[in-house]
Amino acid sequence: MIGIFFGQQTKSFKPGPLEAVKLSVQRNIEFGGLIFKTLGGLFVGTTSLVSSWGQSPSLSCPVNRRRRMMALLTLMASISLNLGLLNLMPIPVLDGGHIAIMAMEGIARRDFSAQVKEKMLLAGLC
């Protein structure tokens, strides 16, 4: 009421349906890039396994339900996108691995035997 607040001041706007879809696609591309950047950093060793969540608590008013709801929905969307992208990785036991095996069968122009597919899937478990 007197102009003092903790945290960053936010601006709100109401996008139309097409603009909302465009913003959603942009945000998903941004989150997807961060997922792949983090995975790449884990392989190279530039990303830490220790989570930084909770290290810098933010001060916010418990009455501000819209902001908390938006943060919750963003987290849910991020987790969903994370699971979807990781599931499509070409690791044999995941869906991406099955897609990769089907792609190899398409390139070979023949179906692999059940034993070959089983060995490919077992190799992914090791």
Q: Is the pLDDT of residue 5 over 80?
A: no
pLDDT digits (tens, 9 = 90+) for 65-105: 666 677 777 878 888 888 888 888 888 788 888 898 889 99
Average pLDDT, stretch 26-46?
A: 80
- Helix and strand numbers (H, E) in the chain are 4, 0
d(CA 47, CA 107): 36
Q: What is the reported pTM? A: 0.50
List all residues 6 or more positions away from 36 whose beta carbon is below 8 Å from its beta carbon.
85
Distances (CA, A) of 2 to 7, 45, 80: 15, 48, 40
d(CA 123, CA 95): 15
Do the beta carbons of residue 51 and residue 57 sit within 8 Å?
Answer: no
Q: Where are the domains of the chain?
A: 17-48+63-87, 89-126
d(CA 55, CA 59): 13
